[in-house]
Amino acid sequence: MKFATYRYHGRTQGTQASRHPAPDDRRRQRPAGRPRPVPHKTRATLHGNVFMTQPKTISLAIDGPIATITLERPERRNSVNAQLTRELSAAVQACEANPQVAVTILTGSGSSFCAGMDLAAFADGETEAILHGKGRFAGFVGVRRTKPVIAAVNGPAMAGGFELVLACDMAVAADTAIFGLPEAKRGLIAGAGGVFRLANRLPIALVNEIILIGAPIDAARACALGLINRVVPAADVMATARDMAGKVAASAPMSVALGLDLARSAASGDESALWSLNDDYLNRTTGSKDAQEGARAFLEKRPPAWRGE
């Protein structure tokens, strides 16, 4: 089965319509309806007088009605910086706009799903772009989608990585995966919807344990708590996610979209008030001295010295 692979760098690629060639046009014609792959590119930025390139941070592959978005920063455990935020937002919007796509799988490359916000990027001043741009954190957690997204959790999903999972509609996890919200240990809060989405699904005592202590839970416990759908061997994560996606794609698109919206509304009600409170507390913590200390301590591999301000 053939894939059309897309690379996103601030723009999306649509479907190319076929044209009848002139008699002397010997160029190979692309069949009608087949998406044109975007060539592999890098983003050029100027550092002093030297142009540097930034490799892609996500990839998008479309196979029939199933799209797969892969986070491509394995050397940083797929942590989220401003560039990944822009590219993930573009890919999600492309899937929403593409009538061929019925369902999307979100996964990570390497041994991690996602380690959350890149604290080095946070320390470098990318906070606004990562947390408060279109779609909120990673350009994803606040997007109102009409098509389901299945998380294929290939490894640890910590902090914002766990919040990405909670923002998805279903999840398959490797038996080696772990989940957690350790933000309080960094002088932050889980401000990408994680706190109120957990509170909608779990008893408050369990929510408090997860967000205040910050200890991770394993995939088996996450499944028992109803936070994910399946736990499988790591080698079977993508196959299981694709099997689920194929069954979703076999259903009527309007029924899927309306059923998804109704289920979300019943589970969470009106999230606007919760997002408002979330944003207030998030801004208070990200702008605090403790948040800066937490990031420095993490990067310097030492215990933080909290000041309560």
The pLDDT averaged over each successive group of 10 residues in the chain (309 residues) is 47 39 42 40 42 75 97 96 96 96 98 94 88 92 95 97 97 98 89 92 95 95 98 98 97 92 80 75 81 83 83
Residue 58 to residue 255: CA distance in whole angstroms: 30
Active site amino acids: 163, 183
The contacts of residue 309 (CB under 8 Å, 6+ apart) are 288, 289, 290
Q: Write down the pLDDT at residue 30.
A: 42
Q: Check: CB of residue 59 under 8 Å from CB of residue 5.
A: yes
Which residues partner with 46 through β-bridges?
Answer: 51
Q: What is the pTM of this model?
A: 0.77
Structure token digits, residue 156: 């640890």
Query: By the 8 A CB rule, do 160 and 78 touch?
Result: no
Of the candidates 208, 234, 206, the one whose C-alpha atom is nearest the C-alpha of residue 219 is: 234
Q: Cα(281)–Cα(267) distance, rounded to whole angstroms? A: 23
Contacts of 90 (CB under 8 A, 6+ apart): 8, 10, 11, 12, 139
Strands 58-63 and 66-71: what pairing? antiparallel
Residues 161/118, Cβ–Cβ less than 8 Å: no
